[in-house]
Amino acid sequence: MNQEDLFKNVISHAKEYGFVFPSSEIYDGLSAVYDYGQLGAELKNNIKAYWWKSMVQMHENIVGIDSAIFMHPTTWKASGHVDAFNDPLIDNKDSKKRYRADVLIEDHITKIEAKIDKEIKKAEKRFGDSFDADMYKETNPRVKGYIDKISSIEKRMKRCLDEGDLEDLKQLILDEEIADPIGGSRNWTDVRQFNLMFSTEMGSVAEGSNKIYLRPETAQGIFVNYLNVQKTGRMKIPFGIAQIGKAFRNEIVARQFIFRMREFEQMEMQFFVKPGTEMEWYAYWKEERMKWHRSLGISEDSYRFHDHIKLAHYANAAADIEFKFPFGFKELEGIHSRTDFDLKQHEEHSGKKLQYFDPEENKNYVPYVVETSIGLDRMFLAMLSYAYTEEQLEDGSERTVLKLPAKLAPYKVAILPLLKKDGLPEKAREIMAQLQEDYMCQYDEKDAIGRRYRRQDAIGTPFAVTVDHQTLEDQTVTIRERDSMQQERVSIDQLDGIIRAKLKS
């Protein structure tokens, strides 16, 4: 199955089983806004809990907060979002489709990269074991040409974006003969800047009303509270403040399901450090965050780093952790060295000192900040698309299984009485009552056992416990593992240990 079909299947699976629904679907939905259903809410909560545990519970020097979505409007002036949180947009005059100019160029670069990969694969086949890919890249004229081309496009794009040279950005699109990915036309409008913040009014009377924004990132709620937390929590630098919450962006190109939404959730952590040590911490958090992703047991080649060419207005270094989505490698998480930009800006706009007194150095300073920022919905999509598997079984039948990491699976155990009689449902309910305190369990007695297994496979339940007549005699059940489909007869007392071990692994 090609990746496009796979992605379509993931989307319809998400809807069919109650993971994700289009928002207000009875009114034909709202573009780039989605609701999470009964299983989606569980998966999302589990991702949040896993992140919170590793960032807050496992770090003595990181604490969590929950700040409001609405903030004083000056916050966004200070942070630079009012003036600089723009995307360069361009319209195609024929298809009437709107694009981000930088995304069109980046997609064009991805196509050139694919050509390099193709050349390398061909050469690898030709030269066999003695093939040295790095040497080939340096010496093969065609590959070198592609690499030079990418570098010159990237440099030109960076200059245009840094200097706001929208005319040359359009010229770059024309020079590279970039066509509308849908319509194929090269009939482009000029490039314009578009601010991504949503605004509304606070107060009901227009006269006294104030324009306020729906926060486009959770980070500013951390910055404005940093001294409150530092003082009340007696935090010593280096320390972190974490937060999970909604963010809103009026995205120009909102596509690819929940990858780019207008209302989404972020899991962010700001790490406050001594000025001059930020690059060390930046490197540290890059590695730590990659380790977190890998700890979920997802294949290593699903992730890669991408260092930014275009730095956000607040950063002096930035990298993405990219994930191999069905539509290619795309940003999942950002790690940014934000310098003292935000705190200094808030000092200036609020007139309040935001300095930290360092008892070791015996002096005051504004800390530097290293940020880790991951989109919860993107993490959800990464897990769902990675886990979604259509399998051909030995007996010729097929199954769809979500091979979710057990920690993240909505339900951990399904409790299935073999028959709906002879006291089996009662015994099954008794077992369920024991496990329910610690694990999300689902009871199911409808249909043949094979169909019930398939239903649990499709929602990613790692274990199915079947209660049969032997259970009534010797207090044993069969436990079936989702991925291997292996079944084992164990005593009821062993269930807790088996499930616990799996969730720890």
What distance in Å separates the CA atoms of residue 209 and residue 434, rounded to the nearest whole number?
55
Q: Which of 75, 79, 243, 266 binds ligand GAP (CB under 6 A)?
A: 266
Which residue in the set 87, 102, 217, 444 belongs to the binding site for ligand GAP (CB under 6 A)? 217
The DSSP code sequence of 384-451 is: HHHHEEEEE-TTS-EEEEE---TTT-S-SEEEEESSSSTTHHHHHHHHHHHHHTTS-EEE--SS-HHH
The correct pick among 334, 405, 410, 462 for binding ligand GAP (CB under 6 A) is 334
| Residue 13 lies near ligand GAP (rule: CB under 6 A) | no
Rounded to 5 degrees, φ, ψ at 443 are -95, 135
Interface with ligand GAP (CB under 6 A), residue total 19
Cβ nearer to ligand GAP, comparing 43 with 261? 261
At 307 the three-state DSSP class reads: strand
Residues β-bridged to residue 491 = 476
3-state secondary structure of 474: helix
Q: Which of residues 292-331 bind ligand GAP (CB under 6 A)?
A: 331
Which stretch, 5-13, 236-244, 299-307, 373-381, contacts ligand GAP (CB under 6 A)?
373-381
* Cβ distance to ligand GAP smaller for residue 91 or 217: 217
CB of 10 to ligand GAP, least distance (A): 16
Beta bridge partners of 480: 464, 487
Q: Which span (152-160, 181-189, 223-231, 263-271) binds ligand GAP, by CB under 6 A?
A: 263-271
Which positions from 483 through 502 interact with ligand GAP, judged by CB under 6 A?
none
- Report if residue 35 touches ligand GAP, rule: CB under 6 A: no
Q: Which residue, 377 or 468, has its beta carbon nearer to ligand GAP?
A: 377
Site of tokens 């930014």: 308
Restricting to residues 448-467, which ones interact with ligand GAP according to CB under 6 A? none
* Choice from 377, 444, 457, 468 touching ligand GAP (CB under 6 A): 377
Pairing of strands 263-273, 368-375: antiparallel
What is the sign of the dihedral through the CA atoms of 236, 238, 243 and 248? Answer: positive
Judged by beta carbon, residue 42 or residue 265, the one nearer ligand GAP is 265
CA distance 422 to 426: 9
Residues 6+ apart with CB under 8 A from 37: 18, 19, 20, 21
Question: Which residues, numbered 79-108, are part of the site for ligand GAP (CB under 6 A)?
Answer: none
Between 102 and 268, name the residue whose CB sits nearer to ligand GAP. Answer: 268
Which CB sits closer to ligand GAP, 196 or 498?
196
DSSP helix, strand, coil percent of the chain (3-state; round to 5)? 45, 25, 30
Indicate the residue among 375 and 410 with the shorter CB distance to ligand GAP.
Answer: 375
**What is the radius of gyration, based on Cα positions, of the chain?**
26
In whole angstroms, the minimum distance from the beta carbon of 442 to ligand GAP comes to 29
Report the residue from 278, 333, 342, 468 that binds ligand GAP according to the rule CB under 6 A: 333
C-alpha–C-alpha distance, residues 153 and 148, integer Å: 9
CB of 306 to ligand GAP, least distance (A): 11
By CB under 6 A, tell whether 342 contacts ligand GAP. Answer: no
- Residues 482 and 401: beta-carbon distance below 8 Å: yes
The footprint of ligand GAP (CB under 6 A) covers 217, 219, 249, 251, 260-261, 264, 266, 268, 331-334, 371, 373-375, 377-378
